[in-house]
A and B are shown apart, each in its own frame.
Chain A
Amino acid sequence: AQSVTQPDIHITVSEGASLELRCNYSYGATPYLFWYVQSPGQGLQLLLKYFSGDTLVQGIKGFEAEFKRSQSSFNLRKPSVHWSDAAEYFCAVVGNAGNMLTFGGGTRLMVKP
């Protein structure tokens, strides 16, 4: 069965600083990988997804993520964080069930002015 680990429960960065959120997955074949963002009191919104091809994927709001098979990782990055990026971020994987998402525990991002 697939699993996802987000090692950092909380991260605080200063506005304008760069950001990297870590995600490690466990799955026997090539996974489908997703990053979602959840603002307080809201549902989840898709930031980006990886299915195949170029291992560096671009998403909305200036985010990107890089798939590294050798490290079983799919880390999320942003070069310059804005105060509005404060939210909880979830990495997720789809395995052999086709459409069933397995979520990581989430990383809560706080942005200092």
Chain B
Amino acid sequence: DAGVIQSPRHEVTEMGQEVTLRCKPISGHDYLFWYRQTMMRGLELLIYFNNNVPIDDSGMPEDRFSAKMPNASFSTLKIQPSEPRDSAVYFCASSVTSGGANEQFFGPGTRLTVL
């Protein structure tokens, strides 16, 4: 299996621009998670989906952030408009329900820099 795939790996943009981060979960996984990692705040859960439905988006910082999962194999995290404080590494992770608490498999992350 290829694991969780994220693109792009690096993104540099200017303040005010729209940014779209992409994630392909592991085939067969029914949970998908978006995290943000910064030096100041560590790892934060932004939102997670179960069977393509958003379950908890309480971690999404502002209305500028939105996430979608149109099908089981693809999700996007969009920031519009972007701001310098959004600079961080964004991780996508997926897991599969198997009767207990389950391991999350993480992608390599997208390093976002907003100038």
Residues 15-72 of B contacting A (Cβ, < 8 Å) = 31, 33, 42-43, 45, 48, 50, 56
Q: A106: which of B4, B42, B48 is its contact (CB, 8 Å)?
A: B42
Residue contact A98 to B101, C-beta cutoff 8 Å: yes
B11 nearest CB across to chain A (Å):
15
- B residues at A contact (CB < 8 Å): 4, 31, 33, 42-43, 45, 48, 50, 56, 91, 93, 95, 97, 100-109
Residue contact B101 to A44, C-beta cutoff 8 Å: no
A3 and B35 CA atoms in complex are apart in Å by 17
Residue contact A43 to B45, C-beta cutoff 8 Å: no
Q: Known contacts A90-B43, A103-B42: does B103 contact A49 (CB below 8 Å)?
A: yes
B6 nearest CB across to chain A (Å):
8
For the residues of A in contact with B, the DSSP-based class is strand
- A residues at B contact (CB < 8 Å): 32, 34, 36, 42-46, 49, 51, 90, 94, 97-103, 105-106
- Which A residues lie within 8 Å of B108 (CB)? 42-43
Residue contact B101 to A32, C-beta cutoff 8 Å: yes
A42 and B4 CA atoms in complex are apart in Å by 12
Residue contact B107 to A43, C-beta cutoff 8 Å: yes
- Which A residues lie within 8 Å of B101 (CB)? 32, 49, 51, 94, 98-99
- Which B residues lie within 8 Å of A97 (CB)? 56
When A and B form their complex, what is the total count of cross-chain residue pairs whose Cβ atoms lie within 8 Å? Answer: 47
For the residues of B in contact with A, the DSSP-based class is strand
B68 nearest CB across to chain A (Å):
19
Closest B residue to A31 by beta carbon equals B101
Closest B residue to A90 by beta carbon equals B43
Residue contact A99 to B91, C-beta cutoff 8 Å: no
B93 nearest CB across to chain A (Å):
8
Residue contact A99 to B95, C-beta cutoff 8 Å: yes
A40 and B93 CA atoms in complex are apart in Å by 18
Closest A residue to B104 by beta carbon equals A101
- Which A residues lie within 8 Å of B106 (CB)? 36, 43-45
Q: Known contacts A32-B101, A49-B103: does B42 contact A100 (CB below 8 Å)?
A: no
A103 and B106 CA atoms in complex are apart in Å by 14
